[in-house]
Structure 1
Amino acid sequence: MISFYGKNFLKEYDFNKHQLETLIDLAEDLKTKEKHGIPHRFMSGKHIALIFEKQSTRTRSAFTVAAGKLGANVEYLNKNDMQLGAKESVEDTAKVLGTMFDGIAYRGFEQKTVEALGEHANIPVWNALTNEWHPTQMLADFLTIKEYLGTYHGKTVTFVGDGRNNVAHSLLITGAILGVNINIVAPESLQPTLSVQKLAKDLQHQSGSKSLITSDVEKGIKGSDVIYTDVWCSMGEEDALEERYNLLHPYQVNQALVDMTGKNTIFLHCLPAIHDTTTDVGQLAYEKFGVHGLEVTDDVFRSGYSKVFEQAENRMHTIKALLAATCGDVY
C-alpha cells in the first residue's frame, strides 16, 4: 500500500504515475461511496487552514466541502487576515500554523511561497493554485476524462489558447507522467516555457506519451479526444484583454474547431468561462469586439459533449481523496 500520509502536493511531479493514479482511483471510490450514502469520515477532529491570496469559487468550495464531508474543520484565511510575507515571514507563518493545524491549502501567486510553506510547516501543504502550477485541477481533469472516455491512457488532450499559463503547464506535465498525449495549440508568443517543455520530454521517456506544441490549429486539433481551454486573461491580467483578443481569437473553441478533431470528443474548461455576455468581462468583450464569447462559444460550452460542470464537481471528489490520503486515516 502506498503511504501518502504527511506528504505535500505542491506541483504535479511531487507524485509519480502510480501515486497520481492511486489518488484518481481513490477519488472515484469516494465519489461512489458518497452517491450511495456510505460514510467516509477519515479526518474526524482534524483542522485545515485555507490560505487564499486569490479569489476562488470552485477551489475554495471544493476544499471546504471535501474537508467537511471527511469530518474536518476548516479555517479560511485571506490575504487581509494575515501578515504573510509582510510583517511575518512565510517560514515563521508556516511554523506557527503547523503547530495548530493538520494541513494547509495555499492559493496565491508565487510558487516559492507554497514551497516555503511546505518546507517549514511540518504538516501536509497542498497547492490550490499558483502562477506556475494548478495540481489539484489536474486530478479532477483526468478523473473526468476517465469517466467519460473509459481511460486516459494513450488519449490525446489538446489545450487551445494561452499555452503559458498554469493550467497548460500542468496539463503538459501531468500528461507526461500519466502517459497521456498532450497538444498545446497557441500562438508562438504564448507557448509553454522551454523549461516546462524540457521537463515534459524527460517525463515522457518514462511514460511513452508524446506532446505537440504548435501554432497550427488544424494540425494540433486533428485526432484529439479532449479539447481543453481556459480564459485568455488570467487573474491580474485583465488589462491585457485587447492584446490577448488580437492574439487569440483564431484559437477560439467553436464548433468548426471541434469538428477538426474528426472524432467524438469531449470539451473541458477549468472555469470560469467567458462564453456569453452575462458577465462583466463578456459584456466588455461584446462592446469592444462585437463577439458573444471569448475562448469558447456558447454552443460548445452548453453542448452534450461539454463536461465542464461534471469536471467542476470532480474538484471536490479529487480534493477529498487528496486530503484523506495525505492527512486522514484512509491508509
Structure 2
Amino acid sequence: MNKLRHFVSLLDLSSSELRGLIARAIELKNHRDPNYQPLKGQLLAMVFEKSSTRTRISFEAGMAHFGGSALFLSPRDTQLGRGEPLRDSAKVISSMVDCIMLRTDKHETVTTFAEHSSVPVINGLTDQEHPCQLLADMQTYFELRGDIQGKTVAWIGDGNNMCHSYIHAASLLDFTLHIASPAGYEPQAAYVDAAGARIKCFAKPLDAAQGADLVVTDVWASMGQEEEQAQRVAAFKDYQVDRQVMQAAKADALFMHCLPAHRGEEVSAEVIDGPQSVVFPEAKNRLHAQKALLEFLLCQK
C-alpha cells in the first residue's frame, strides 16, 4: 500500500518532486488529452472558510478535466461552522471522498485535518502558507525563463503566507530571495532562519529589487485584515512595486502577483498592466499546476 501523501506545505515535496510537478504541469498544459481521465469516479471535497476565485475554479475544473468531481463545502452549510471537532470532521469527510482541499484561516486547521484524514489533504491557503500558488508561479517562471536555480527573486511587501511559501521555494529550488518588508511586517523568523543564506532582508524595495530576475508582491491587507487597512496603508506606502522598482531589477525581469490586486497600492497600474507582468498567465497556470498536484497525490503507482 502506498504511503499517504499530503500537500500542507511546499516542504512536503522534495526538490526533485517539485521540479517534476512543474514539468508535469507544463506537459499537461501543452498536451491536453480529453480521453485522459485518471481520476474518473473520484471525488475532491473542497472546504472553504475564505472566499476564492482561482483556487475554487482551478480545483473544480481540474477534477472535471480528469473525469472526477468536486464538492464545495462552506462552514455555513456544514457542521464545521457549528463547532464539530476538526478531528471528527476530518475522519468523517475523508471516509466519503478521495481527497480534501482546505482554504482556511488557521494553518492548524489543515495540519489537524491531515493528521486525522485517511485521504490526501491539500492546503489551498492558510494564514501561514500558500503552496498551491507557488506551484503556478514557478511553472510560469520555468515556462518563460527556464530553471530558476541560481536566480534572484525580490519579494516586496508583507511577510505573509505567500512570502513564507516563497522562502520554502527558495530552499527547494535553490534561488536567492530578497525580502523588503516594513518594520513589524517581516516574515516569521522561523521561516527565514530555516532557509539560511538564501534569504536576504532589506529595508528598501529598491535595494531588494537590485538585479532581480523576478519581482513579486501581494496586497497590503489580506482577507481578514480589513480592519487594519488604514494602518497598513501608512506602513506600506513606500513599498509599491512601480516603474522605479522594476528598473532596479534586470531588464528582462518578470512581475508576478497572486491576485486579486489593488492598482495604486501594492503595485502601480503601469507595472501590472505592463509588458513585464505575467499575472494572467500565472493565474491561468493555477489550473495546470493543480492538475499535476492531484495526479501526483491520487495516482501514485
- Structure 1 CA distance for aligned equivalents of residues 220 and 272 of structure 2: 15
Give me the whole-angstrom Cα distance separating, in 1, the residues matched to 2:29 and 2:43: 22
> Does the 8 A contact of 1:33 with 1:39 survive in 2?
no
Distance 1:70 1:192 in 2: 37
- Give % identity: 34
Give the equivalent residue in structure 1 for 2:6: 8
Task: From the superposition, tell whether residues 167 and 127 of structure 1 become closer, same or farther in structure 2 (CA, over 3 Å).
Answer: same
Residue identity in the other structure for 1:299: E
Instruction: Identify which of 234, 238, 241 aligns with 1:246.
Output: 234
The corresponding residue for 1:73 is 69
CA distance in 1, matches of 2:87, 2:11: 23
- Cα drift, residue 264 of structure 1: 1.7
Q: Take 2:106 and 2:239, find their aligned partners in 1: how far apart are those partners?
A: 28
Whole-angstrom distance in 2 between the partners of 1:42 and 1:69: 9
Q: Does the CA contact (< 8 Å) of 1:107 and 1:130 recur in 2?
A: yes
Query: Which residue is 2:54 aligned to?
Result: 58
Q: 2: CA distance between counterparts of 1:41 and 1:55?
A: 28
AA paired with 2:10?
Answer: E
Tell me the residue number matched to 1:88: 84
| Equivalent-residue separation in structure 2 for 1:30 and 1:264 (angstroms) | 27
Cα displacement (A) at 1:216: 2.3
Contact 1:4–1:325 under 8 Å retained in 2: no
Matched, 1:25 2:23: yes
Alignment-derived partner of residue 207 in structure 2: 219
1:264 aligns with 2:252: yes
Matches of 2:146 and 2:16, distance apart in 1: 18
1:327 to 277, 298, 301: 298
Letter in 2 for 1:236: G
Compute the displacement of 1:327 (Å).
1.1
The whole-number CA distance in structure 1 between the counterparts of 2:111 and 2:38 is 26
8 Å contact from structure 2 (residues 241, 271) kept in 1:
yes
> How far apart in 2 are the matches of 1:11 and 1:228?
19
How far apart are the structure 2 equivalents of 1:260 and 1:4?
48
> Which residue in the other structure is 1:278 paired with?
none
| Deviation by residue 1:30-51 (Cα, 9 ceiling, x = unmatched) | 11112xx453211011011000
- Give 1:4 shift: 8.1
Between the aligned partners of 1:86 and 1:16, the Cα distance in structure 2 is 37
Match of 1:142 among 128, 138, 144: 138
How far is the alpha carbon of 1:236 from its aligned partner? 0.8
Q: Which ranges in structure 2 are unaligned for 5 or more consecutive residues?
A: none
Mapped contact 2:242–2:271 kept (Cα < 8 A): yes
1:263, distance to aligned residue in structure 2 (A): 2.6
Q: Does the 8 Å contact 1:187/1:214 carry over to 2? A: no
How far apart are 1:177 and its partner, in Å? Answer: 1.4
State how far apart, in whole Å, the 1-side matches of 2:124 and 2:205 are: 31
Residue in structure 2 matched with residue 151 of structure 1 by the alignment: 147
- Summarize the Cα distance change of 1:72–1:81 in structure 2 as closer, same or farther, 3 Å threshold: same
Amino acid at match of 2:182: P
Coordinate RMSD, CA, aligned:
1.6
Separation (CA, whole Å) in 1 of partners of 2:250 and 2:134 = 25
Q: CA–CA distance in 1 between the matches of 2:136 and 2:125?
A: 14
Corresponding residue SS for 2:141: helix
Query: Which of 146, 168, 189 lines up with 1:194 in the alignment?
Result: 189
* SS class of match (2:101): strand
| Distance across 2 between alignment mates of 1:317 and 1:77 | 23
Which residue does the alignment assign to 2:164?
A: 169
- Report the 3-state secondary structure (helix = DSSP H, G, I; strand = E; otherwise coil) of the residue aligned with 2:165: helix
- Asked whether 1:304 is paired with 2:275, we answer yes
Compare 320-329 and 58-67 and name the one that shifted more: 320-329
Assess if the C-alpha contact under 8 Å between 2:37 and 2:65 holds in 1: yes
Residue 218 (structure 1) shift: 2.3
| Deviation beyond 4 Å, 4+ runs, structure 1 | none
Tell me, yes or no, if the aligned pair for 1:4 and 1:326 is still in contact at 8 Å.
Answer: no
User: Within 2, Cα distance between the matches of 1:98 and 1:19?
Assistant: 25
Aligned to 2:288: 317
- Mapped partners of 1:85, 1:196: distance in 2: 31
Q: Distance in 1 between matches of 2:203 and 2:175?
A: 20
Specify the SS of the correspondent of 1:246. helix
